Chains A and B, each alone.
Chain A
Amino acid sequence: MLEIIKQPWPWYIAGPLIGLTVPALLILGNKHFGISANLRHICAACIPAKVPFFKYDWKKEVWNLLFVVGIIGGAAIAAIWLQNPASIELNPKLVEELAGYGITNYDSLVPGQLFSFENLLTIRGFLIMIVGGFVVGFGTRYAGGCTSGHSIMGLSNLQWPSLVATISFMVGGFLMANFILPLIMAL
């Protein structure tokens, strides 16, 4: 059994499980699935600075912060005890492209050759980690949600603004991965 769990889970197992988070949170306490709001709660709790957007009772949303604590814990459990010993299997075209940028290590889910503290001081690393992180935070709040809030919760509730947001996410990602990222990676 453990051997099966240790294998990477196919989409038709993982997707429905993630989808079940939606009714689980609703039934456990009327909570709407969404994660990016956490970043806002952290701002409201730590650096509100009299900005009206951060003046609300963030303590009412503590469940959302605890949900993230659980995600960190669950990821640690999976990484420590349920880890797949083999490297990730990728499309050979991607492997070839990444090799051109010097990315050759597939041992971890996040490429250590890109995401490291030393790389923060390189132009490539700074753009990918700091600028990338900044637009993730800025963009999700501007859009009113991220992939969990809009693409999963919003679409599950048949909200057309969430469909607009999801399409925008995909367009942005497609542009970055195919046209902009290759330029950054070549730096």
Chain B
Amino acid sequence: MAETKITDAAFDTDHEIRAQDSVCINESHLTHKWYHQIKYIVVGILFGVAFVKAEIISWFRIQEMFRLQSFHMFGVIGSAVVVGAISVWLIKRYNAKTIYGEKIEFHPKKFNKGQIYGGLLFGLGWAMTGACPGPLFAQLGTGAFAVLAVILSAIAGTWVYGYFRERLPH
């Protein structure tokens, strides 16, 4: 714990905007030496292997899902949610702490119409590209280098959203 220090003052300058827009909010109030970040690469590696081995990064599996021709994707997402929900419940029930002894925080999400409009748009793109943002990177990792064009375009889409954000209905 010696290398950790609390940086509450610097934390959360725009929590409101991040809570609304960015699902993954960095909740930790601690700062660490750089090598503490390595563990996230390790989790990513395990996650990437599971993505490929379960074939959920497959354009074909996504087509099957949306044509209701296979249970596979529904099973993957459904069982992931069940395991995730039980884990979150257990964390809350037993007040579990992080490995640094910090309290695990949850913030309620606010509803806005973007979840409908944006959700529909993303769904259209999901069925076209056969990938959501995670699988896009995994596809690239398997050597499908043309997917780099899709990723760059997704970054452009994010940028354009950010630019026009104030003028869009939320």
Q: Are A143 and B98 in contact (CB under 8 A)?
A: no
Q: Which residues of B contact A10 (CB under 8 A)?
A: 75
- The chain B residue sitting closest to A77, CB to CB, is B49
Contact with B along A94-109 (1 / 0, CB 8 A): 1000100000001011
How far apart are the CA atoms of A172 and B95 in the complex, in Å? 38
Q: Which residues of B contact A90 (CB under 8 A)?
A: 60, 64, 69-70
Range of interface residues on A (Cβ < 8 Å)? 35 or more
Q: Are B63 and A177 in contact (CB under 8 A)?
A: yes
Q: How far is the CB of A174 from chain B (nearest CB, A)?
A: 5
- The chain A residue sitting closest to B131, CB to CB, is A136
Q: How far is the CB of B155 from chain A (nearest CB, A)?
A: 5
How far apart are the CA atoms of A120 and B130 in the complex, in Å? 16
Q: Are B39 and A28 in contact (CB under 8 A)?
A: yes
How far apart are the CA atoms of A143 and B157 in the complex, in Å? 13
Q: Are A66 and B24 in contact (CB under 8 A)?
A: no
Q: Are B84 and A31 in contact (CB under 8 A)?
A: no
Chain A contact residues, majority secondary structure? helix
- With beta carbons under 8 angstroms apart, the residue of B18, B53, B91, B151 that contacts A5 is B53
- With beta carbons under 8 angstroms apart, the residue of A154, A171, A173 that contacts B23 is A154
Taking CB atoms and an 8 Å cut-off, the chain A residues in 86-131 that contact chain B are: 88, 90-91, 93-94, 98, 106, 108-112, 114-117, 119-120, 127-131
B6 within 8 Å of A (CB atoms): no
Taking CB atoms and an 8 Å cut-off, the chain B residues in 46-90 that contact chain A are: 46-67, 69-85, 87-88, 90
- With beta carbons under 8 angstroms apart, the residue of A64, A70, A78, A94 that contacts B67 is A94
How far apart are the CA atoms of A116 and B136 in the complex, in Å? 14
How far apart are the CA atoms of A77 and B44 in the complex, in Å? 12
Q: Which residues of B contact A63 (CB under 8 A)?
A: 26, 37, 40
Would you give 8 A-B contacts (Cβ < 8 Å), ordered by A?
A37-B23, A47-B159, A53-B162, A78-B49, A133-B149, A171-B120, A172-B127, A180-B124
| Interface pairs A-B: 3 shortest CB-CB | A70-B44, A172-B123, A74-B48
Residues of A bordering B, CB below 8 Å: 5, 8-40, 42-43, 47, 49, 51, 53-54, 56-57, 60-64, 66-79, 82, 88, 90-91, 93-94, 98, 106, 108-112, 114-117, 119-120, 127-162, 164-178, 180-181, 184
With A28-B39, A93-B67, A98-B60 given, name 6 new contacts (CB 8 A): A71-B47, A71-B138, A75-B49, A141-B162, A144-B20, A169-B123
